[in-house]
Amino acid sequence: MQENGLVVVVKRDCPTCVMIAPVLQQLVEQGSLMVYSQDDPAFPEGIADVADDTLLDASYRLDVEIVPTLVRFEDGREVDRTYGWDRAAWESLTGIGDLGADLPAFKPGCGALNQEQDRLAELKIRHDDTPMVSRHVQIGAKEDPIEACYERGWSDGLPVIPPTQTRVLAMLDGTTRSADEVLGLMPSNLDACTVEKVAINAVMAGCRPEYLPVVLAAIEAVLDEDYCLHGTLATTRFVGPVAIVNGPIARQIGMNGRGNALGQGNRANDTIGRAVQLAVRNIGGGKPQGVDRATLGNPGKISYCFCEDEEGSAWAPLTVDRGLAAGANAVTVFAGYGLQGVIDDLARTPEELVETMAASLRAVDNVKKFPGPDCLLVVCPEHERTFMEGRWDKARVHKELMARMAVPADSVLRGLGGMAEGVKPEMAGKTVSKLLPNGLMIVRAGGGAGKFSGIIAGWTPGTPESSRPVTKEVKT
């Protein structure tokens, strides 16, 4: 780079750069211009000693955004610049009048090659100008990167995307949050969980960069003390994080809250949930038969994420139930089991349908186990329609279900019906409830055909000390 004088960055594949070639020739002949060419060191023709910048290092150092860019240096320091072709600006910067007299007075330039996303990431890495601080693991030339991830214990049992520096940088572009921001300490290792570390696991999970804000919100939720991540890891029960996404962001990133909402086949649903699980594993050390002591587990411990179908529902969304404004972008994380089906093809009134749902809720864990865990009820569109035809909103459904959670203790005593499970004999004559007063959440999701709702049961028998659902707003 020049200590004093002018530097211009151009490329052949730019009509404006081609147009101003005579101007560049004039400035070079006056001995005051160094030319850098981004795509062809033979351009512009007729100018000797064009600097080859096909590797784009000079363009990166100059932070060129548009070509042509003209920069003046004095004593090695930039003092002025202009871009595109603007005769008045070029004459002012060069101190030379009557430049390009036969050219139009103004013509915009073109995008600089160094600003293209893949090239920019490579340049940042080459110039050691990234926000990343995580250790770079070198693998052998003959190692398969996917197999290397398996061997190092970074996988959930399925292939992961190798988290190269280029991929992680691209993922970090999905958020304005600083890469070194600490979201909290990840149990059980209690290692600092940073935005960068979450981004690495999001890459491995197969996320797109625009999913990262949702992943970060879900991670903040599982790190919240109320969620009790260490407890939900160490328990021998079935649970793992279930993430429910609300707000316009779900539609923007292409999430599925309709047919097969809790199943496979949607990249956003599958990879967001998987990223959370991989982060818990790789940052916190939550590995099966280690900290994770689940007796059976459930398939959702690979990924369990969906969005509420707010557009298709007549009910207020979960975010409103959780104290946020309608339309808020948020993630609610719930420590949940696999799905228990609630099938009722015949109910035609809210009263009939709510009895089915209540009976199904009372069967969670064991029909005689009181109290039971918190539950998430996922109501399908056809069942919602039955309630709405009877003018029952979600609040009414919740109230009616909770009323039916209370039963005489005498009906669920230990030993009754030949079952050892049940409430203690001293509870005889009293009333017991399956759920705590705040132990039921309701969301609306699923396909338009089929009277098939579902229950996702929670972690422990409902006590104030157990894991509680946590809702976090999404920060972009």
Q: Are residues 189 and 60 in the same domain?
A: no
The residue whose two tokens read 């610049």 is 81
Q: Are residues 111 and 228 in the same domain?
A: no
Secondary structure of residue 469 in the 3-state scheme:
coil
Interval 204-259: pLDDT, tens: 999 999 999 999 999 999 999 999 999 999 999 999 999 999 999 999 999 999 99
pLDDT of residue 334: 96
Q: What confidence category does residue 327 fall into, taking pLDDT thresholds of 50, 70 and 90?
A: very high
Q: Does 371 fall in a domain? A: yes
Residues 6 or more apart whose CB falls under 8 angstroms from that of 391 comprise none
pLDDT of residue 24: 96
Q: What is the mean pLDDT of residues 452-459?
A: 96
Q: Are 234 and 293 in contact (CB under 8 A)?
A: yes
Q: Are residues 264 and 391 in the same domain?
A: yes
Q: Are residues 205 and 88 in the same domain?
A: no
The residue whose two tokens read 């509680």 is 468
Res 107 pLDDT > 70: yes
Q: Among residues 165, 179, 239, 168, which one has the least CA distance to residue 209?
A: 168
Q: What is the mean pLDDT of residues 121-138?
A: 88
pLDDT of residue 464: 58
Q: Are residues 116 and 161 in the same domain?
A: no
Res 463 pLDDT > 80: no
Instruction: Say how far residue 32 (Cα) sits from the centre of its chain.
Output: 50
Written as one letter, the residue type at 256 is N
Interval 270-306: pLDDT, tens: 999 999 999 999 999 999 999 999 999 999 999 999 9
Q: What confidence category does residue 465 fall into, taking pLDDT thresholds of 50, 70 and 90?
A: low
- As for how many domains the chain has, the answer is 2
How far apart CA 157 and CA 256 sit, in angstroms, is: 24
How far apart CA 28 and CA 47 sit, in angstroms, is: 7
Q: Are 9 and 58 in contact (CB under 8 A)?
A: yes
DSSP codes, 259-274: TTTTSS--HHHHHHHH
What is the token pair recorded at 161?
A: 């995307």
Q: Does 137 fall in a domain? A: no
pLDDT of residue 131: 87
Q: What confidence category does residue 23 fall into, taking pLDDT thresholds of 50, 70 and 90?
A: very high
Q: Does 130 fall in a domain? A: no
Q: Are residues 158 and 85 in the same domain?
A: no
Q: What angle do CA 292, 442, 219 make, to 5 degrees?
A: 40
How far apart CA 183 and CA 25 sit, in angstroms, is: 55
Res 152 pLDDT > 70: yes
Q: Does 9 fall in a domain? A: yes
What is the token pair recorded at 314?
A: 């007549």
Res 398 pLDDT > 90: yes
Interval 253-268: pLDDT, tens: 999 999 999 999 999 9
Q: Are residues 179 and 100 in the same domain?
A: no
Q: What is the mean pLDDT of residues 439-455?
A: 97
Q: What is the mean pLDDT of residues 105-127?
A: 93
Q: Does 304 fall in a domain? A: yes
How far apart CA 157 and CA 140 sit, in angstroms, is: 22
Q: Are residues 360 and 445 in the same domain?
A: yes
pLDDT of residue 30: 84
Q: Which residue has the higher pLDDT, 136 or 376?
A: 376
Q: What confidence category does residue 101 fall into, taking pLDDT thresholds of 50, 70 and 90?
A: very high
Q: Which domain range does residue 249 map to?
A: 147-473
Mean pLDDT of the chain: 95
Q: Are residues 104 and 195 in the same domain?
A: no
Residues 6 or more apart whose CB falls under 8 angstroms from that of 131 comprise 172, 178, 179, 180, 196
Q: Does 392 fall in a domain? A: yes
Q: Are 96 and 38 in contact (CB under 8 A)?
A: no
Residues 6 or more apart whose CB falls under 8 angstroms from that of 145 comprise 139, 162
Q: Among residues 278, 95, 305, which one has the least CA distance to residue 199?
A: 278
Cis peptide before 188 (omega within 30 of 0): yes
Pairing assessment for the beta strands 5-10 and 33-37 based on DSSP bridges: parallel
Q: What confidence category does residue 368 fall into, taking pLDDT thresholds of 50, 70 and 90?
A: very high
Q: Are residues 171 and 261 in the same domain?
A: yes
Res 1 pLDDT > 80: no
What is the token pair recorded at 249?
A: 């962001």
Q: What is the mean pLDDT of residues 315-344?
A: 96
Q: Does 101 fall in a domain? A: yes
What is the token pair recorded at 105?
A: 């007075």
Tally Cβ neighbours within 10 Å of residue 141. Answer: 5
What percent of the chain has a predicted confidence (pLDDT) above 90?
A: 89
Q: For position 16, which CATH number holds? A: 3.40.30.10
Alpha helices in 363-432 (DSSP H): 381-389, 394-403
Of the three residues 73, 94, 125, the one that is the final residue of a domain is 125
Q: Does 407 fall in a domain? A: yes
Q: Among residues 320, 331, 335, 318, which one has the least CA distance to residue 269?
A: 331
